[in-house]
Amino acid sequence: MRPSSPFGGELAFERIAKRFGSTAALHDVSLTVPDGSFCTLLGPSGCGKTTLLRIAAGFVDPDAGRVTLGGRDLADTPPSRRNMGFVFQSYALFPTKTVAENIAFPLSVRGAGRAAMAARVAELCALAGLEGLEGRYPHEVSGGQQQRVALARALAADPPVLLLDEPLAALDARIRQRLRAEVRRIVDEIGVTAIYVTHDQEEAIAVADQIVVMDRGVLRQAGRPEEIYLEPAHAFVASFVGASSRLACEVLDAGQIRLGPDVLAGTIKAPPGPGHAFLRPEDVVLDAGGRGAVVERAAFLGPVWRLTLRLGDGQALEAEIATPRWQATPLPPGTPVAWSVPPARLHVFAADDAGAERAP
Amino acid sequence: MTRARLLGRIPALSALLIAGLLVTVFIAVPIGAMLIRSAVVAGPVPVAELKAMTEDALAFLPEEKRAERIAAWYARAKPRERMEAIAASLTIHDHPVGWDRKAAFDRQIEAAEAALAALEPAARSAVEADLPIAYVTLFKRVPLAFMVKDALDEAGFDALRSGEATRWGWDHYLRVVTEQRMRNAALNSLILATVTTALTLSLAFAIAYGINRGGVWRAEAARIGVLVPLVSPPVVVATAAILLLGRNGIVTKGVLDDGLGLIDAGVSNLYGFSGVLVAQVLSFLPAAFIVLDNVLSKSDGRLEEAAAAHGASAWQIFTRVTLPMAQPGLLRAATLIFLFAMTDFGNPQVIGKDMPVLAGVLYDEMVGFHNTSLSSAIAVWLIVPALSIALLLGRIGRRKRFDSADQAPSALPVPRGLRRGLTALTWGVIGITVVIYGTILAGSFVKVWGQDWAFTPHHYTSVDAVPGFVSSVVGITPVWTSLMVAGIAAPLGALIAVVIAWLAERRRGVAAESVALVTLVPAILPGVVFGIGYIVAFNAPFGIAALSLNGTHTILVLNILFGNMFVGVLAARAMLRRLDPSVEEAAESLGAGLVTRFTRITLPMMRRAAILGGLYVLIDGMCTFSAVVFLQGPDIDLASVEIFHAANVSYYGVACAMSVTILLVVLTVMAAQALIERLGPRWARAPALGRQA
């Protein structure tokens, strides 16, 4: 069900740049969000993801570049004419209006009739699970309910694009998990193009069709969640999305690296010379034929044991071992082990890649 | 930036432009005009300059007729005029005028001729050569001016004809120092203001400390009790003090003199320095209290608890923790009270008897002689001490700022003896307030206080109560005039204040911030300054008398509006700072344009700040008089001014009646507001819109 709007379609950012004073918030960012898709902007705070969202809404003018919707340049369209639903981190509900009045506001400023407004409010309240709360004021409903009101209000005028700025950040963890699935359900039901800003990678992976990873104003990688996770295109992506061990190494020719005394095969995206290898704990395999290491620490995490291995050259490597196999005792500290990793899961980037230094 | 986006900025830009224009014209210009006027000196032009002007004018006469004309004029000089010409010529040539210029003319004429004869021949011929021109300069300038009128500009013509010119100078400022009368008054003012400030501050700090540290019984009630007279009609305390302790005071005359025969009330009474002091301290106490209460209630009590835990005694905690923490507030309160005391002329006029103060001189110069230049200079003198001390101390204390997130009060127990003392002090002050207002109420119904105690309602209805009293005032009618003027100013002030606050907080920028800053200026400058500024600026704007606002209702509304708007601006800014700015962005992204957004979202959210700002304009507009006393024309009677006038001529009955009526109006308005608050919409109880503005 594609709502009819004055304009809609693909949302595109073309070479967007923005500075605030002396700091560059966005640097030459280009991004295309296909019509009807759910896109997540992921990155640490200060990476420019919210600025990009606010540029889409028209709250911020870019210094360079343009935003188009369905091929139409939005530069001349003020925020009030863009018809983009915006959900704020703080919800930004009107404290002087009831839940129903909040949801009806975009219709009311467009001169909708009373009956049409009432029908639309009822429809949205049903969609967002707000029945019975119509007459309450925002401060009289819970945080999760306020979030639903904000979502319903943003969708009331049938916007072609919905922009969500960390919509769940103010809620506690349990509600956040439940609501993110619900946000996705509602967005799917409406069929709106959505851009969702978050710093929580788990949330991003859970809801998105497309994840865009940003770092210090630069777009590092855009792709499906599994692409981002399995095939990082940049050291920053490899370190920010999911947990990884980062090991200093030397890149050799022919798809190999030297790690301490060992030579390993990997997926290399760096020229020969110093590099960084990224390995996910779940990809490290303990087997008899592998490289040598010593167990330094074993931490029980429930489904898995997390082992810290000390390599021959002194670097630390994390490995995860499924719990059932080590029901009794894990490997005690000091145990020598052998490990290996499939070449496809060993990602190597040049050591001077800026993002690597900021790995969490 | 494209055309469409530029067009979208027009509403906000024009709002900023209008706000800027308003505060410039009605705040900055009056104050600037007053400052300029204070340095304008009108006086006779020195004779040498006058001679040069005359020679310039003579140059416009045809050359062949010039000498002839001068000779013809000089030929008719009388002996006395010749004597004056000799004196002038001597002065021009830098010779002393050696005879008594106040002696009889015959003697002077002889002396002048003798002086001329006594000069050396060369000097003598030079002086004699200039006698004709000196004569023309002194006595024929007016006909000369008319002869050459076409050749002169207007200012040149006026200056030549009158022999006077205006110039820039510090003369008016210097008079305050050089003239005995004003020096005395200034000294009195400084002493009075110093003692008043010290007393008020000590009292207010003790009370505020007690209330905030559990040292006063029923602290919440006591806080309200101390704050209630914050805004009250003028000279209420002085009037009540006279009714109680004056020559015919119920205590001095009624009890101590007539009753017990202990004193002679005609001699021993409260008039004079002590009376002014009592009136000022009690009048200014609530203002000092509100500043100190604010500081002490927000200071972090944990610090005092920490000091106690480290072994400090109660006295050490007080002197080393509490007092230093309160220092910024003490400085602010001291500046405020010193300003109040220096610029107060109401209390000294009513109860000061023979003690002149500088503000009183200003009042006399303004009302008696309409001497705006001297009054302006005195007004500047009145505020200089307080402001310079504040700037100086503020600079020293700048490094010390005590903002603490934790605002829990200290739970340390106050020693019992101190608690008793503070309770007695606080409730004693509240008791005095009750007595004062009780006296005012009683005074409004008594025929002639101290002489004829018969009940009469006539102070409220007419002037019949005291036969022979001449006044334009009929009962309490001025109160309704005041209510109308303040009632017009209040909603306008609230609206403008909210718009300015919004521009400063949401549009940001230097321009919006400056506009908001200018609105604060009247908060620092006393009403006297602001009032004189309005007279100077709006008597004849651009020199056009037809535009004059003086004596109209309009100027009163404007003065009250812009003089009190700052409370609304401050409240609205504080409120906007707490409100989430994305609420307005949400409205924008949902399709609301600027005007819709402001009227449907922002304005309702600002309701509390707007009401507060409007209420302040209304209440203070009805009560203050130091600004409007000079602005009120002959056809308009404002209650606050009439109360002062009535009290000033000892007609206390009608003063009391008007004060009581003002208080009733104020209480009614506040009760109505509280009721609206209670019955108001449910959304107004949202924490974001709450009362910690």
Q: Which of A199-203, B167-171, B424-428, B507-511 has the highest mean pLDDT?
A: B424-428
Q: What are phi and psi of B191, to 5 degrees?
A: -65, -45
Structure-model confidence comparison of residues B247 and B474, the more confident one: B247
Per-residue pLDDT tens over the stretch B129-185: 888 888 888 888 888 888 888 888 777 787 888 877 777 888 889 888 899 999 999
Q: Does B227 touch chain A (CB under 8 A)?
A: no
Could you tell me the end-to-end alpha-carbon distance of chain B, in angstroms, rounded to an integer?
37
Per-residue pLDDT at A299 exceeds 90:
no
Q: What are phi and psi of A308, to 5 degrees?
A: -105, 120
Per-residue pLDDT at B367 exceeds 80:
yes
Instruction: Report the candidate in A324, A345, A168, A321 with the shortest Cα–Cα distance to residue A265.
Output: A345
Q: How many CB atoms lie within 10 A of CB B97?
A: 16
Per-residue pLDDT at B398 exceeds 70:
no
Q: Does B690 touch chain A (CB under 8 A)?
A: no
Cβ contacts (< 8 Å) between A105 and chain B: which residues?
Answer: 587, 590, 592
Q: In 3-state terms, what secondary structure has residue A251? A: strand
Q: How far is B507 from chain A (nearest CA, A)?
A: 13
pLDDT at A133: 93
B686 closest CB neighbour out of A83, A95, A153: A95
Q: What share of chain A is helix, strand, coil (3-state, %, to 5)?
A: 30, 35, 35
* Residue linked to tokens 């799917």: A188
Contact A106 B590 (CB under 8 A): yes
pLDDT at B191: 95
Instruction: Quote the Cα angle for B456-B460-B463, to 5°.
Output: 80
- Predicted complex ipTM exceeds 0.90: no
CA distance B631 to B479: 17
Where residue B471 falls among pLDDT bands split at 50, 70, 90? low
Q: How far is A167 from chain B (nearest CA, A)?
A: 13
Test mutation, A89, A94, A165, chain B, max B CBs within 10 A: A94
Q: Does A160 touch chain B (CB under 8 A)?
A: no
Structure-model confidence comparison of residues A352 and B530, the more confident one: B530
| Residue-by-residue DSSP string for B291-303 | HHHHHHHHS-HHH
pLDDT at B280: 94
SS3 annotation, B512-527: HHHHHHHHHHHHHCCH
pLDDT at A4: 40
B8 closest CB neighbour out of A78, A156, A157: A78
State which amino acid sits at residue B592.
Answer: A
pLDDT at A328: 60
A92 closest CB neighbour out of B586, B600, B685: B586
Q: How many residues can be counted in chain B?
A: 693
Q: Which of A350-359, B5-14, B94-103, B341-350 has the highest mean pLDDT?
A: B341-350
Where residue B354 falls among pLDDT bands split at 50, 70, 90? confident
Q: How many CA atoms within 13 Å lie on the side-chain side of B95? A: 21
Instruction: Quote the Cα angle for B520-B503-B3, to 5°.
Output: 145
pTM of the predicted protein model: 0.81
* Pairing assessment for the beta strands A11-20 and A23-33 based on DSSP bridges: antiparallel
Where residue A7 falls among pLDDT bands split at 50, 70, 90? low
pLDDT at B3: 65
Where residue B693 falls among pLDDT bands split at 50, 70, 90? very low
Q: In 3-state terms, what secondary structure has residue A259? A: strand
DSSP-derived letter for residue A331 is P
Long-range contacts of A4-7 (CB under 8 A, 24+ apart): A4/A158, A5/A83, A5/A158, A5/A159, A5/A160, A6/A83, A7/A69, A7/A70, A7/A72, A7/A160
Contact B4 A58 (CB under 8 A): no
pLDDT at A254: 74
Q: What is the CA radius of gyration of chain A?
A: 24
Contact B683 A95 (CB under 8 A): yes
Instruction: Quote the Cα angle for B571-B573-B576, to 5°.
Output: 110
Q: What is the mean pLDDT of residues A94-121?
A: 93
CA distance A323 to A330: 9
Q: Which residues contact A282 (CB under 8 A, 6 or more apart)?
A: A304, A320
Q: Does B682 touch chain A (CB under 8 A)?
A: yes
Q: Does A219 touch chain B (CB under 8 A)?
A: no
pLDDT at A121: 95
Cβ contacts (< 8 Å) between B687 and chain A: which residues?
Answer: 139
Q: Which of A305-319, B296-310, B571-585 has the lowest mean pLDDT?
A: B296-310
Where residue B525 falls among pLDDT bands split at 50, 70, 90? confident
Per-residue pLDDT at B313 exceeds 60:
yes
State which amino acid sits at residue A169.
Answer: A
Q: Which of A93-102, A313-322, B18-27 has the lowest mean pLDDT?
A: A313-322
Where residue A330 falls among pLDDT bands split at 50, 70, 90? low
Where residue B402 falls among pLDDT bands split at 50, 70, 90? low
Cβ contacts (< 8 Å) between A150 and chain B: which residues?
Answer: 586
Q: How many CA atoms within 13 Å lie on the side-chain side of B136? A: 25
Per-residue pLDDT at B270 exceeds 90:
no
pLDDT at A169: 85
Contact B590 A59 (CB under 8 A): no
Q: Does A111 touch chain B (CB under 8 A)?
A: no
Q: Which of A70-79, B333-342, B473-482, B612-621 has the lowest mean pLDDT?
A: B473-482
Q: Which residues contact B650 (CB under 8 A, 6 or more apart)?
A: none
Contact B5 A78 (CB under 8 A): yes
Q: What is the mean pLDDT of residues B233-237?
A: 88
Helix B47-58 / helix B79-92 crossing angle, nearest 10 deg: 100
Q: Does A81 touch chain B (CB under 8 A)?
A: yes
Contact A93 B583 (CB under 8 A): yes
Instruction: Report the candidate in A239, A191, A264 with the shortest Cα–Cα distance to residue A2.
Output: A191
A-B interface: how many C-beta pairs under 8 angstroms? Answer: 105
Contact B585 A77 (CB under 8 A): no
Contact A58 B589 (CB under 8 A): yes
Per-residue pLDDT at B331 exceeds 80:
yes
Per-residue pLDDT at A349 exceeds 80:
yes
Q: Does A275 touch chain B (CB under 8 A)?
A: no
Q: Does A51 touch chain B (CB under 8 A)?
A: no
Q: How many CA atoms within 13 Å lie on the side-chain side of B452? A: 9
Per-residue pLDDT at B547 exceeds 80:
no
Instruction: Report the candidate in B193, B388, B361 with the shortest Cα–Cα distance to residue B277.
Output: B193
Interface of A with B in 121-150 (CB under 8 A): 137-140, 150
Q: What is the mean pLDDT of residues A294-300?
A: 87
Q: In 3-state terms, what secondary structure has residue B412? A: coil
Q: What is the mean pLDDT of residues A37-60?
A: 92
Q: What is the mean pLDDT of residues B531-554?
A: 82
Contact A84 B682 (CB under 8 A): no
Per-residue pLDDT tens over the stretch A137-165: 999 999 999 999 999 999 999 999 999 99
Q: How far is B498 from chain A (nearest CA, A)?
A: 17
Quick one: tokens of B59?
Answer: 């140059």
Per-residue pLDDT tens over the stretch B625-673: 888 888 887 778 888 888 888 888 888 888 899 999 999 999 999 898 8
pLDDT at B474: 66
Q: Does A82 touch chain B (CB under 8 A)?
A: yes
Q: Does A62 touch chain B (CB under 8 A)?
A: no
Structure-model confidence comparison of residues B285 and A253, the more confident one: B285
Contact B477, B637 (CB under 8 A): yes
Quick one: tokens of A46?
Answer: 């200060």
Q: How many CB atoms lie within 10 A of CB B166?
A: 13
Instruction: Quote the Cα angle for B39-B42-B46, to 5°.
Output: 115
Q: Which of B279-288, B384-393, B639-648 has the lowest mean pLDDT?
A: B384-393
CA distance A347 to A340: 14
Per-residue pLDDT tens over the stretch B577-609: 888 889 999 999 998 888 888 899 999 999 888
CA distance B25 to B491: 20
Q: Does B7 touch chain A (CB under 8 A)?
A: no
